[in-house]
Amino acid sequence: MSEVFDLAIIGAGPGGYTAAIRASQLGARVVVVESLQLGGVCLNWGCIPTKTIIENLKTVKKAREIAAPGIENTVTLERLFQRKDTVINNLRKGLETLFKTHKISLVSGSAQVQDANTIVVQDNKSPDKRLFEAKNIIIATGSRPVVLPVLKTDGRYIINSDQIFNLAKLPVSVLIVGGGAIGCEFAQIFLDLGVQVHLVELTSQILPEADEEIAKLLAVGMSRNGIKIYTGVSVSDVSKEQDGITVTFSNKEKITVDLVVTVVGRQANIDNLGLEQAGIAVERGRIKVNQRLETTVKNIYAIGDCVNGPMLAHKASYDAVIAVENIIGREKQEADYTALPKCIFSAPEIGMVGQREQEAKSAGAVKIGKFPFAALGKAQAAGDTRGFVKIVAQAETGKIIGGHIIGPQATELINQVALAMANKMTTKQFAQAVFAHPTMSEAVKEAMDDVDGLAISIGKKR
């Protein structure tokens, strides 16, 4: 006998749980099916655990710099992981409470789509299968690390980003394969823990999606801090030796390390969902949807990592609201990722949104505003003056079309630019606001003013 709901959601990550809560707020009866843990990769293995460790290491590092009395000079992996687990458990309990408050049914199991209004769930706790009927279905199954044939993970010597928190002890040396956002974050974590770090990236620069100037600045800083960076090469062979893992690059160079961590991208979790039998189209490894996030089957929607667009937790949450509003809300909505910010929790942090300087210039006339943190009072007071804010605007209208920040609190500051872009603001409109002094946010305002050569705290534009 089937159980009947207004909405069935497959996956309980940021996309799934956001969709469930919003649908419940709008009066729907909701069931969510999750095969692993409530909160998905973001809460349990990705965003939250990595940022917990990064922030804790940052605090210890700052305390050492100012020689605060009573600060320990060593940080153990065990204590970091304990802190990480505490944060995860607290947040998961919070989600469980929200589910109970909103009367959302949570089922532990693996789901398959049977048709436009039915899913079949293999219960994790029993051999039984359960049938759920729903007026609408949302697929929010997230993603998993890509596995390269030459770098098959064994959980001990070669691991992926999801396995990194299973480490029993720190290696002496590590090779991070993949110089994107996750690779750069893990490189910084290992460096701060005293590990010798190597980082290899296939393209000509680390952070291939970042502004070229920002990527270069980060690479210089990482190299100065002791991270060995290899660009424009790939891993062609890996062999286990008595003294470690010997890795051969495509240029024939060899290095030997204790651990290899692969972070070369992620792929959508769309296997074994019954998509083909349900008639749901797949395109380039992801579920095909329109701008309303509808699949090719009426009443079935898909969101987050399993559809086109950046694989980001906040993108999944954004998708979730769009899908639910289209299912239950009064106004139909379309997904628009123009003002979707991206953050990298490197040292220094990086935030970016919209068009990069290079691509904007190739598409038409633009104006660039730039302001260095070295000229900012709050950055001087904080003892962190690395980096700058860069604003890209249309030359004729002054409309903000891109923002790129490297420096202190960049991952927070970029949201100001994203908000301005979402509201189609010009640099002059943004700069009319009064910003408190002394704050890091003043750097964003000054960069906006600099688009027209009007920044107060730096020299006149030539």
**Cis peptide preceding 348, ω within 30 of 0:** yes
Which of the following is catalytic: 102, 198, 314, 437? 437
CA distances from 348 to 87, 163, 181, 352, 357 (A): 24, 25, 13, 13, 20
Does 437 qualify as catalytic in the annotation? yes
Tokens of 350: 């990086």
425-453 burial: b if 16+ Cβ within 10 Å, else e? bbbeebbeeeeeeebbbbbbbbbbbbbee
CB 317 within 8 A of CB 16: no
Tokens of 175: 């090779």
Tokens of 111: 């789901």
Going by C-alpha positions, the residue among 325, 384, 397, 391 that lies closest to residue 353 is 391
Question: How many residues make up the chain in this entry?
Answer: 462
Kindly give the residue spans of alpha helices, DSSP state H, lying in 349-433: 357-363, 377-382, 410-422, 427-431
Going by C-alpha positions, the residue among 299, 294, 300, 292 that lies closest to residue 275 is 300
Three-state secondary structure call for residue 394: strand
How far is the first Cα of the chain from the last one, in angstroms, to the nearest whole number?
75
Going by their DSSP bridges, the two strands 235-241 and 400-406 should be labelled as unpaired
Three-state secondary structure call for residue 204: coil
Q: Annotated active-site positions, please? A: 437
